[in-house]
Every structure is written in structure tokens, then in C-alpha cells.
Amino acid sequence: MKEMYPKNGRVILHVDMNSFYASVEMAYDPELKGKPLAIAGNVEERRGIIVTCSYEARKFGVKTTMPLWEAKKLCPQLVVMKPNFERYRAASTAMFEILRQYTELVEPVSIDEGYMDITESFSLGSPIEIAESIQNRILKQLDLPCSIGIAPNKFLAKTASDMKKPLGITIMRKRDIPTVLWPLNTNEMHGVGKKTAEKLQTIGIHTIGDLAKGNEIQLKSLLGINGLRIKERANGIDFRLVDPESVSEFKSIGNSTTLPRDISNQQELFQVLEGLAETVSTRLRRKTVMASALAITIRYKDRKTISKSMKLLNPINHQNDISTFAKQLFLKAWNGDPVRLLGITGNDLLEQDHAYKQLDLFSFEKDAKKEPLLKTLSSLREKYGKNIIDSAGSHYNEQAENVGTGTSFNKDFLRSFPEKKKDEH
């Protein structure tokens, strides 16, 4: 079977769950199968927003982020349900447990998709046999459909998994690129958004083939270093490795300060906390992560040190949110004695573009409208690396308090994965 695998290259799978939230609800309640189903916020109100929908609903033109009233107009028989994030996390965890039975090299990139490097898994069968086994097991054990792309790198695997949905398995070889990939418009290329495609059109690049053959000087002038990178992708070049530890790069981010004198005035102590919150917020945003738990440290003049922490309903990285919760914790922990040192630490960190937010009926629409931007940020980071748009991500956070994603592309269900680093300085 080893001859079915390349001698020098890699074999990468991209496993993408089909219409995940709706499929989970159908698995939970089989009576929903075959019906046009949508998951939405504010299901009791006309102004609700569609999070995701079944393929039966899509046949009527229903799609993600569409207003609920519009979806019901297109499909009067639409079944609408509120999101059940605990149910989705449980299904996601079970799905990734199945994937890890084939290889240790599994990299989750969201709640419903992940990469696998099966180069050394040849004893389990050929790549297509492994993909079929994975697809069948997820369907049989969890009653959930998925599509799988098989390719020599991440970009081509992701591209392949998008080609046949639901329940598709697609092989994308480098020799297939000119006939399969190049005829497509650039906005159909994974990670190239509408605005980038419009910019490319200004220099005569309309298809992925045009991009693959594009002038590097023009591309760099138009899009910076990203122009050269997307040209590489268009030619099927992608050296990113499958990294299982990428889900948890930072354990915590915090900051503490020893006060110039022992302070017992509450307002002065609050000012110190506000300064610490600003520093922690900056560090969180620089790492493009959000904290789903917060802790404060208080050291008194007698050097007695106490810590108090709290789990947060929604992940945060904005200064105002950090300051507010830190003050609440402080008031619960402080005994009124003079304070020598104060500290704030953000724990249980989640990647910003995958941060899970338990949305209530009042905040859902606002967050769903942000979803296209957050998906774009996620796609850009996946294509070009996490640091490529740090400044854009930080700028976005400065303008929008407590960012969350309506479709919950999260990694909080992966806390069992190894943690590598701690950044507290």
C-alpha cells in the first residue's frame, strides 16, 4: 500500500462537515430529515438572521446571514430553530476523536472542519480508502455527512473538499490544476474575497489561471506580499504543515504591577486596574486571541497574595470588558486593606476568529452581520499565516466591542489539546 503514497510529498485531507448545525439537529431529531431547516437567532421575530440551513432549504434560495423574514418568504414551510451550541460542540468533539484514530496529525481549524496529514498512515489503506472510511464512520456513528478533499497540501485539500457537497470525496493533484482550478473566477478561489477579486480585475486578472500567470511586480504593487502568495496558491504551492498544536498556542496572557506605594483608596486601585486592562487587551489583540476566563491577583502590604477568577459567558479582548470584569472580581476579593500589587490575567484563550460566543436573542443580529468580515479574517490568516493581518484584526477590535461570531467557529471544545506557551510579560 505504501506505493500509493508519494516518496517525498505529503498526503493531506481536509474534512469539512456539511451544513453542520442543521445536520446535528437532524441527527438529534430524525423527523427533521428531508425538511427545509434553518438555524437562526430571534426565531420569534421577523428580524432574525439565518446562521446556517439544510440543503433542502438552500434549494429555495435560503442562505447564511439572510434575514429570517426573507427566508420565510422564499420558503414558507421553513422549519426554524435556535442554535444549541452545547450540542454542536459535543458533535464536533466526537468527530475529531474519529479523525485522530487515523493519525495524530489532526489540525482543527473550526468547529466543523480540520486538516489531517495521513502520509504515514499507509498501513490503514490508500488515501481514498482512508477518506471513505472516515466519511462512512462519521455518517454511521454520528449520523452526520461530510465532504473530504485529498491533495498534496492544505490549499488544494481545502479546494477539493468544497467541490462536492454533501458527502463528496475529491482528489486534487497538482497536474489537475490547469484543467480544474484555472478556469474558475478568482472569487471562487479559497480565501480570495470579492474586493480582492475586484482589485485583480483592474489589472486584467479574472480567472485563477490569469492569477497563476500574473505579473509578480503588478501583483505586489496591487496587493503587497499577499499578491505573490496568492499567485503561489493559484499554482498549487503551499508549504504549510498540519500542526495539531496550533489550537492552543497560548495558555494565558496577563500583566501585573507593583504599586509605587501601598494604596487603599478604591478609585485609585480602579485606575490601576484600568491601566492593566489596557495592557492585557493590547497583548490579547496582538496575539489575535480572546479570553474566556479572567483572573485578578491582589498582594497586600504584608505580602499575603490572593487570586480570584471567573468564567465568562462570552470571550473578550476589549479593554472596557476586561476592566469591567476585573473590577467586579476585585470588589469580591478585596478585604479593604492597603494593596501592594495588582494583576489581571486572561485565561482559557481562544483564537479570535474562532472564538465561541453564547449569543442571546438580543445580540445575535449584530454578530451575524459581522460574520462575513470574521470569515474573511479567518481565511486570510489561514492562507498567509496568523500575523499577516494582525493590524487589521486589532483595528477591527478597537472599533467593535466584544467581537463574537454568529456561526461559532470556535475552538473551546479543544481544550484537551496540548498547551505550549504562556505569555505573562
Could you list the active site residues? 113
DSSP symbol at 42:
S
Distance (Å, rounded) from C-alpha 237 to C-alpha 160? 15
Query: CA end-to-end span of the chain, whole Å?
Result: 50
| Helices 85-99 and 127-142: angle between axes, nearest 10 degrees | 150
Q: Is 336 helix (H, G, I), strand (E, B) or coil?
A: coil
176 in a known ligand binding site: no
16 in a known ligand binding site: yes
Q: Pairing between strand 79-81 and 37-40?
A: parallel
CA distances from 285 to 252, 278, 333 (A): 13, 11, 27
Distance (Å, rounded) from C-alpha 425 to C-alpha 222? 38
Distance (Å, rounded) from C-alpha 38 to C-alpha 71? 9
- The residues facing 146 across adjacent strands are 17
Distance (Å, rounded) from C-alpha 221 to C-alpha 60? 42
Q: Is 265 helix (H, G, I), strand (E, B) or coil?
A: coil
**Is residue 88 within a helix (H) or strand (E), and if so which, with residue range?**
helix 85-99
Distance (Å, rounded) from C-alpha 150 to C-alpha 13? 5
**Is residue 377 within a helix (H) or strand (E), and if so which, with residue range?**
helix 364-384
Neighbours of 140 (CB within 10 A): 9
Q: Pairing between strand 339-351 and 250-263?
A: antiparallel
391, exposed or middle or buried, with CB in 10 Å at 0-12, 13-18, 19+?
Answer: exposed
Distance (Å, rounded) from C-alpha 186 to C-alpha 183? 9
Distance (Å, rounded) from C-alpha 173 to C-alpha 309? 50
**Is residue 272 within a helix (H) or strand (E), and if so which, with residue range?**
helix 266-286
Distance (Å, rounded) from C-alpha 374 to C-alpha 369? 10
Binding site, by residue number, is 16, 112
Annotated binding site for Mg(2+): 16, 112
